[in-house]
Structures are given as C-alpha cells and as structure tokens.
Structure 1
C-alpha cells in the first residue's frame, strides 16, 4: 500500500505540474471580478483536469475571470455533468467533459440519467486528446500484436483498465477482441491515476486513456505503449506506432476531445461571451505550448463546431455499437 500511494502521488504531481495555475488562491486573487467554477467529472491528475487547469490559468491571465477547477469524479463523468445541469444558468458554473459523454454514452447506456443534447449546451471545443494503450514495463509484450498473441498462448485473463466506461478505446477493443477471438474484460476506475497504478504494477494487463495521462509514467519507465489511436504517429511519441500500422483499424477513430458546456438555459449572449473567452485562451501561445508538450492537440473551435462534431461522431459509432450489441445498464 505505501508503494501504491507513492505511485499515485507521483502520477498526480507529474501529470498536472506542467498545467497547473500557481494555486487556487492565486486564481481567486486576481483577474476580473467574476468567480467561475469549471467542473471536471474526473479525478485530479488526469487529462481532463490538466486541460481545465491550463484554461483556468489563461482565462485569469487574460483578465476574464477567476476560475476554480472543481473535480467531481465518478460514473464516468456523469456526476460532474449532473452538478452543472442543475446549476444556475448564469455562466458561472461550467462543465469540461470528454466527447464520449455526448457521442457514445447515448448509444450504449440503457439508463443514461441525462439528456446530452438538451441538459447542457456547448460553449467551445477546447482540446483534442490523443489516446492509446499501455501496459506495465515488466510485461513480456511490447505492442498490440504481441499482446494478442500473449493472451491467446498463455490463456491469460486479458483485462482493460478504463477511467471511462464506453470510451472509443473500449469500443475499439471490443471490436478488436471479437475479430481476433479474444475476450478483453473491462476494469473501470474512478480516474486515470489509480488505473495506471494497477497497469504499472501488472494488476491489469492493459490500460487505455489519454496519452497525456500516461506520459509521466512512460517517461519514468513504469509503463510502455502498445500503440496509439489515429492514423498518424504523435509528435510527442514518434517511436510509438499507431494501432492502425499494426493491423488494428478498429482504433483509427478512438481518439477523444474535450469541450466546455453550460447549463441549457444559459442565455445566448452569455454563451457567446464564454465562447470568445475560451477560444481566445486556447490560442494563447503559453497554453498551446503547455498542452502540446503534455500530449494534447490544441485547435479551439466554437460552439457550433462542437455541436457538429458530436453529430458526426455519433453517426460514425452508432452502427458499430449496434452491430456489436454493446449496452450498459448504468
């Protein structure tokens, strides 16, 4: 337990060090006269938390508002969503959420508990999130092909650690496993940090999350990448092949992205003001450099672009989910 606690502390410190504003006190002390709560549905130390804190810092630096990042992990981000949809629609309580909540969850959950199209409204698309698969550094396999071969030959229990149930990575893995005669059992965690601890320790044979969440342990030699999603290698990981290169096209569309959302009844004028502020913050060189170094791609887009992307991606995944019979109770 002491070693596990130290590893969690390492992940939390390393994953956010490059993206944290000086302190919450500093956020409250300067910049504008508004106090904005930016709710994140995941634990501190993960990719969403890093993006939220980077934007909070730049919004304050630009004099727009004092921003407090509030982590509300649980239910794959739905606890944070629920808190924001019930908030006063005054533009002072916002949600930073991952694309699966709006794209995939409506297709996979029998009892979603929220309306992704009407409970919140998009403000801006703030970061693209490259994702990938990792395993413990001591594991005998070093890429996805070797992992599949190992799981078959050893008749080992293939497990997939997840911080978000129903993520594109999980759907891709279900499809990949089905086509290769391999059952991969999902193991859900309350955040990336505890999941990666178990991956590094060999408790879970593979983990899937944002590259940004996994870079600190990768750089420390605790985990190794089996591959990354998408059709191109990442600038931050030029030696790591894509899963598509390895013959696994199921992961080509398994990347994710983060958007900022406001309660549905928030006035158009308020949303427009927030949209301008977030898009401007996302173009500030300090933020772009910080997040790109951490493994993100930063090309902020407005609310309409976010809404269009939700529709396009939902249409892409719908037939795949239906064909695979993927469904979660809650």
Structure 2
C-alpha cells in the first residue's frame, strides 16, 4: 500500500512531468513557427502559367517573399484532374515550405468523382487559407430574349430537357454548381461540356448554348465586347462595382442558392498548426495590401479572410453538397 506521503510525492512528480512535457510541446511549436521559413517556399498549383489565379498568386507571392525575406516560387503543374499537383505536394516534407494551390470546389468534389483513388482532402493535407473568392454570373448571349433568370426558368419549365447550359467540362465546378442550381430551381436542362473556357463563352455568345455560369475573369472578354450579358450575380447582395446586375433572387431565381469559386492553399498532412497559422496570417496581410487589392478588383476577386478552420469547414461543406449532386446525376470520372 502506498502511503499518503508517497502519493503526494509521486503526484507531484507526475504533475511536474506533465508540466515539463507541456512546456516542451509549447517550446517545440514556438520553435517551429520561429524557424519558418528557413528556405524558399514553393507553391505547387493546378493552374496554368499566365492564368488569372496564377497571376494573383504571383502578386501575393511577391508580398510574402518580402515579409519572409526568402523567395516564394510558383510551380505550375496543371492536368490530370488536379492529381499531378496534388501528388507532388502531398509527397513534400510537412514543414510549410511546400504548399498546394487548388480550386476549392474542385478539390472538394474529387473524392466523389474519383472514388477508386480513395482520396480524402484532409487525409492528405492541412488547411491553410484562401487566396480569393469570386462570384459567378448567369451568362447569356446579348441577343437572348430573356431579361432575367425568371424568364430562363420559365423557358426551362416549358420544355423540360431542351434548354442547354454549358460548362468547362464534366465534373467541373461549373457543371456541379449548375446541377445544384437545376435542383434548387426544380427544372431539368441539358448539359453541354466544352473543352476550354474560351470556347464555352464563345458558344454562349453565339447562342450555340443557352446559358452558363461564369466568373468575371473568364467572361469579361465577351462581356466587355457586348457579346454576352449577365442576368444575375449568384450572391446574396449586389456587387458594389456592378450595382446594375441583380442578385439571383432579385432576378427571379431560387432565393436559397449561391455559387462562387474560391482558391485554397493547403499544406502536406502533418505540417505543424503554428506554421499553418503563421502562413495564414501573412497571407491575409499580403492579400489586404493596396497593390494586391487593385489586382483583385480588375476581376471582381474578393478577399476571403478565412482561418485554417474556416477553410476546412468550407471544403467539408462543399464535399457533402457535391456528394449528393454527383450521386443523383450519376457523374463519375474514373
């Protein structure tokens, strides 16, 4: 039997040991954060060189490089449904010096589009933050007789399965969000996938395809030329820079539907939380700079000051929503 005195002594030792262990963990976490970055940081991205997201990341990278006093490199690895970049990033050391830049909606849908790969986002990565968020517009030809989304939906209900909506590919963000829109509006339309965004919005402008969802960055070439018009913005509020474009609900669309695209930054699984938090803090500061904000304004990109936890929730929420629409529409890519 252990005496009360011995229990007190042993208890004190246990408490001391626990305090020392906790202190060691805190010291290790602080050291990890203080040591970052100790070498150039590489951002592996699914986007092509010269694309809008690539240009924005390079602008932000310049700010991060100045903050960190070390180069920030952008490594473009498009193709393979995003898995070329994903596999390269997930194989890197989990120390914050290699990050993945991926379209948030696309990576959210991958587990359900490619079930045979058994890919789960947060089995492979830690959330870091978001580069930007961008609203979508309901885009139709400038010669379309539809004056609002209510007209579009009335035409769809009059001829189920006859109206066409275009996207930049089967399983793309535009495809999944358009299918969600169909469900919310209670209509059935025909999906027309294109190989490239330029072809898609050219097809909409000529009337080859009835309508499409699209961000300003990918549609402004046709919009500024007067070849397409925006029936609505898929946001709860009008955009300050485009006050004449109504929201989806104002234009006669479903009131409980919003569509947008965001670009996420992720770190290899096991990257210490303090490093992810440090990168997030510095990312938000870089995005908030006047120079980057001026670049964002050109394309109606919006800063998304999400924490790592909020980034995780955004991806998990979309993963659940896309599972339902992918299953109900029989969409598979493997």
Tell me if both proteins adopt one fold, taking TM over 0.5 as the criterion.
yes
1:93-132 matched pairs, under 5 angstroms: 93-107=98-112, 109-111=114-116, 114-132=119-137
Correspondent of 1:328 among 306, 323, 332: 332
Given that residues 40 and 52 in structure 1 are in contact (C-alpha distance below 8 angstroms), is that contact kept between their aligned partners in structure 2? Answer: no
Correspondent of 2:181 among 164, 168, 173: 173
Query: In the alignment, is residue 281 of structure 1 matched against residue 286 of structure 2?
Result: yes
**Greater share of helix residues, 1 or 2?**
2
Distance in 2 (CA, whole Å) between partners of 1:199 and 1:48 is 23
Given that residues 77 and 164 in structure 1 are in contact (C-alpha distance below 8 angstroms), is that contact kept between their aligned partners in structure 2? Answer: no
In structure 2, the CA distance between the partners of 1:300 and 1:114, relative to structure 1 (3 Å rule), is same
**Offset, 1:185:** 1.0
Correspondent of 2:241 among 219, 236, 245: 236
- Local SS of the residue matching 2:230: strand
User: For structure 2, which runs of at least 5 residues remain unmatched after alignment?
Assistant: 1-36
**Offset, 1:287:** 1.5
In structure 2, the CA distance between the partners of 1:131 and 1:56, relative to structure 1 (3 Å rule), is same
Given that residues 38 and 68 in structure 1 are in contact (C-alpha distance below 8 angstroms), is that contact kept between their aligned partners in structure 2? Answer: yes
In terms of mean alpha carbon deviation, does 120-129 or 264-273 score higher?
264-273
Given that residues 123 and 275 in structure 1 are in contact (C-alpha distance below 8 angstroms), is that contact kept between their aligned partners in structure 2? Answer: yes
Given that residues 204 and 210 in structure 2 are in contact (C-alpha distance below 8 angstroms), is that contact kept between their aligned partners in structure 1? Answer: yes
Given that residues 279 and 302 in structure 1 are in contact (C-alpha distance below 8 angstroms), is that contact kept between their aligned partners in structure 2? Answer: no
Distance in 2 (CA, whole Å) between partners of 1:61 and 1:222 is 41
Distance in 2 (CA, whole Å) between partners of 1:163 and 1:44 is 20
Distance in 1 (CA, whole Å) between partners of 2:189 and 2:101 is 33
In terms of mean alpha carbon deviation, does 299-308 or 151-160 score higher?
151-160
- Local SS of the residue matching 1:111: helix
Distance in 1 (CA, whole Å) between partners of 2:252 and 2:135 is 19
Query: In the alignment, is residue 187 of structure 1 matched against residue 193 of structure 2?
Result: yes
CA-based RMSD of the aligned residues comes to 3.4
- Local SS of the residue matching 1:301: coil
Residue of structure 2 in register with 1:210 after alignment? 215
Query: In the alignment, is residue 74 of structure 1 matched against residue 88 of structure 2?
Result: no
Given that residues 161 and 190 in structure 2 are in contact (C-alpha distance below 8 angstroms), is that contact kept between their aligned partners in structure 1? Answer: no
Instruction: State the Cα deviation string for residues 230-255 of structure 1 (Å, max 9, x = none).
Output: 21111232111222223322772322
Whichever of the two has the greater Rg, that structure is 2
- Local SS of the residue matching 1:298: coil
**Offset, 1:56:** 1.9
- Local SS of the residue matching 1:305: helix
Given that residues 111 and 118 in structure 2 are in contact (C-alpha distance below 8 angstroms), is that contact kept between their aligned partners in structure 1? Answer: no
Given that residues 142 and 225 in structure 1 are in contact (C-alpha distance below 8 angstroms), is that contact kept between their aligned partners in structure 2? Answer: no
Instruction: State the Cα deviation string for residues 97-117 of structure 1 (Å, max 9, x = none).
Output: 222134344355533552211
Residue of structure 2 in register with 1:11 after alignment? none
- Length-normalised TM-score, structure 2: 0.73
Residue of structure 2 in register with 1:133 after alignment? 138
In structure 2, the CA distance between the partners of 1:323 and 1:263, relative to structure 1 (3 Å rule), is closer
- Length-normalised TM-score, structure 1: 0.74
Residue of structure 2 in register with 1:256 after alignment? 261
**Offset, 1:34:** 4.3
In structure 2, the CA distance between the partners of 1:44 and 1:147, relative to structure 1 (3 Å rule), is farther
Residue of structure 1 in register with 2:164 after alignment? 158
In structure 2, the CA distance between the partners of 1:276 and 1:176, relative to structure 1 (3 Å rule), is closer
In structure 2, the CA distance between the partners of 1:322 and 1:195, relative to structure 1 (3 Å rule), is closer
- Following superposition, which runs of at least 4 residues in structure 1 exceed 6 angstroms of deviation? none
Query: In the alignment, is residue 91 of structure 1 matched against residue 96 of structure 2?
Result: yes
Instruction: State the Cα deviation string for residues 277-324 of structure 1 (Å, max 9, x = none).
Output: 212212222222321342021132221221233334445x26853884
